[in-house]
């Protein structure tokens, strides 16, 4: 019964995108899974944002900060509250319009998350290993690299096509599963290597992770959007966090 439900949900989600979405600035995601736009932020802005992240993370008791168990991944939730005018640099309204057109449904809330990832023994990389952000519905994340990202400092990596081939690949990756232990040996992983200031846009229904970091550091800002007004609470509750609701909410 569960398997049949998962099957139907997967079919419904693909049909939704085909009929109502797949348009706008990010339309290519339907075929390409991820896009990279170099030079979306200037180097100067990247430097200012990195400094701001370091300042915030230097205070251990800062609210809205989460750290993973091995102190490799440190995250500032609701980062838009910390950066004043710099938030305009992300052109949030433009991104949201593009996301709505791709998904074919309205965005009702959003927030930014900034993170710094550094090497620690047995770190799992940003995001804690291979996963899908949502196993059934399509979802879009915009991720800005604030530092140059190479293969050894924690690039985003994903399986091309895995946002749209859940049914044919269900023997490898069971439908409805968020977390995935390993990638099948025949699947090709793409590492997104790009300079500071690059914008990576991804349909994060795909199988992806931040590659475990070996050297240096990786700074990034991610735009989270939700079809729900309480997207912030839903997201953080899912992570076992309990910060005050502060996301930007759009009126009907």
Applying CB under 5 A, which residues contact Fe ion?
127, 133
Residue nearer to Fe ion on the CB measure, 90 or 156: 156
Residue nearer to Fe ion on the CB measure, 48 or 137: 137
Give the contacts of 46 (CB within 8 A, at least 6 positions apart).
Answer: 146, 147, 196, 197, 219
Q: CB 252 → Fe ion: shortest distance, Å?
A: 29
Residue nearer to Fe ion on the CB measure, 140 or 146: 140
Beta carbons of 157 and 211 less than 8 angstroms apart: yes
Specify the residue for token string 């600035």: 25
Residue 127 structure tokens: 């995001």
Distances (CA, A) of 104 to 13, 101, 223: 11, 5, 18
Residue nearer to Fe ion on the CB measure, 45 or 157: 157
Exposed e or buried b per residue across 126-164, where buried means at least 16 C-beta atoms within 10 angstroms of its C-beta: bbbebbbbebbbbbbbbbbbbbbbbeebbbbbbbbbbbb
Q: CB 210 → Fe ion: shortest distance, Å?
A: 8
Q: CB 127 → Fe ion: shortest distance, Å?
A: 5
Q: CB 212 → Fe ion: shortest distance, Å?
A: 15
């Amino acid at each position: 019964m569960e398997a049949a439900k998962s099957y139907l949900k997967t079919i419904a989600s693909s049909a939704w995108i085909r009929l109502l979405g797949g348009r706008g600035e990010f339309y290519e995601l339907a075929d390409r899974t991820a896009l990279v736009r170099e030079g979306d932020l200037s180097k100067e802005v990247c430097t200012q944002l990195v400094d701001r992240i370091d300042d915030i993370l230097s205070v251990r008791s800062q609210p809205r900060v989460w750290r993973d168990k091995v102190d490799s991944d440190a995250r500032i939730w609701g980062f838009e509250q910390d950066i004043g005018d710099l938030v305009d640099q992300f052109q949030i309204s433009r991104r949201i319009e593009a996301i709505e057109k791709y998904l074919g449904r309205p965005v009702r809330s959003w927030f930014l998350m900034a993170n710094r990832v550094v090497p620690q023994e047995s770190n799992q990389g940003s995001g804690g290993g291979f996963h899908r952000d949502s196993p059934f519905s399509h979802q879009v994340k915009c991720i800005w690299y604030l530092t140059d990202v190479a293969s050894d400092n924690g690039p985003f990596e994903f399986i091309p096509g895995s946002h749209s081939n859940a049914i044919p690949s269900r023997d490898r990756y069971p439908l409805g599963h968020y977390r995935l232990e390993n990638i099948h040996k025949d699947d090709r992983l793409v590492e997104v290597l790009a300079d500071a200031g690059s914008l990576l846009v991804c349909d994060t229904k795909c199988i992806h992770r931040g590659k475990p970091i070996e050297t240096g550091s990786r700074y990034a800002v991610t735009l989270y959007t939700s079809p729900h007004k309480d997207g912030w609470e839903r997201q953080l509750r899912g992570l076992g966090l309990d910060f005050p609701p502060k996301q930007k909410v759009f009126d009907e």
